[in-house]
Amino acid sequence: MKILLCPLSDGGYLYPALAAGRELRRRGHHVSVLARSSAGPVVAEAGLPCAVAEAFGGHRAFSATWWGKTGAAQYRAILRAARAARADLLVTSVLCNGALLAAETLDVPVVVVGLSVHLWDYRSGGDGEPHLGRTRESRTRDSLELHAATREEVGLAGRASRWEDDPLLGDALLLRGDRALEYPDAELPERVRYVGPLAWEPAPEQGEWEAVEDHLERTGTGKPVVYVHLGRFFGGRTLWPRLNEAFTGGPFQAVVEQGRSTDPRPAPEADILLVRKPWMGPFVDAADLVLANGTSAPVLSALLRGRPLVLSPNGSEQPLLTGACVRAGVAVRDPKTPSVDLSALLECVSRDEGLRTRARALGDRLAAVDGAARAADIVERAAQASATPKENHEYAISRPR
């Protein structure tokens, strides 16, 4: 089978797709990747061939920053690349309307790699779920409206889709989390499956991590490390004033991965090492705890290593995942108010053995799942289901595993 991976090219979306792609290649399938040029070295390290998105008209179409505005360009780029690769199946990221619509036009199955939690409405239950940010109903409505608008833009409006019941899920949507991160009485849609973290990332270059360790030993005066992973702010408050206060003269030193945030402002006197790396595992291994905005990649990395979390959400899925982690007892939410001292909050979390124990237990469950194998199984079943006679097709793709 010929499979085209066409996820967003940002690490949090690209790396899980590469984990699944590597397993599919191991099973003998021909796997290629459509990604922006800057992601080429990472795709090469994963051992997969890369088609450059810009060469297919996909400028900005595979960037998480532009995902809501470039669906039509993404659609056209995937059509061209999939036809060139003679792809039998697509694997994409959640939020990639262009890939979903390209699969419709090509009449091939598409499997969606999701986040660590389900973003949209449950099939049933979840009515009592508190909302830190937008409601599921609001998020689902807006996502469907954007999908419909993109369908119209590319000329597919009015055309029947085999996913009329929920076009956002494709033939299957793979959640990288655990049942504990969903609301207790909620039932997921039939085509949603748990596959675990799909953990893969590029390795540090020779001597790269050793240089970081040396810096921390020379400047940190033995203080324990907090790994800080900053995502997009979505118009929310920047954490930098609180970071500078917490890590100046306090009990911790910080390694701050600025991620997709902008305008870093570490104070000269603060115990802060600012980095921008395509990997985070060694940082989390060296850390006592993790402070993040609440995106899937740092949360899963922390849990896999049994690290408790302090989460300071802004927009997108950040409030939803933060609420899930607080409910599971593996994280504390930063209220981002002047009355709460961040340094004291970090100390409290560091000393909380209950938080640490629950984080280890959830991490052990996540680590026990062979996510790549499970994802590859689902991809293969989606391909088999698409080849069944039309009268059996809907039944075949909707049965639970």
- What local confidence, expressed as pLDDT, does residue 394 receive? 36
Q: In terms of Cα–Cα distance, which of 227, 213, 183, 188 is closest to 349? A: 227
Q: Contact at 8 Å (CB) between 375 and 85?
A: no
State how far the Cα of 182 lies from the Cα of 8, in Å rounded to an integer. 24
What secondary structure does DSSP assign to 276-337, as a single string? --S--HHHHHHEEEEEESS-HHHHHHHHHTT--EEE---STTHHHHHHHHHHTTSEEE----
CA distance 265 to 43: 31
Residues 6+ apart with CB under 8 A from 195: 20, 174, 175, 176, 369, 371, 374, 375, 378
Three-state helix/strand/coil letters over 16-28? HHHHHHHHHHHCC
Tokens 């009355």 correspond to what residue?
339
Using a cut of 0.85, tell me whether the model's pTM lies above it: yes
Task: Specify the pLDDT at position 317.
Answer: 87
Closest by CA to 78, choosing from 113, 114, 102, is: 102
Single-letter residue type at 83: R
Per-residue pLDDT of the chain (401 residues; tens, 9 = 90+): 999 999 999 999 999 999 999 999 999 999 999 999 999 999 999 999 999 999 999 999 999 988 889 999 999 999 999 999 999 999 999 999 999 999 999 999 999 999 999 999 999 999 999 887 789 999 999 999 999 999 999 999 877 788 888 999 999 999 999 999 999 999 999 999 999 999 999 999 999 999 999 999 888 678 999 999 998 765 667 889 999 999 999 999 999 998 777 788 899 999 999 999 999 999 999 999 999 999 999 999 999 999 999 999 987 789 999 999 999 999 999 988 888 899 999 999 999 999 999 999 999 999 999 999 999 999 999 999 987 554 443 333 333 32
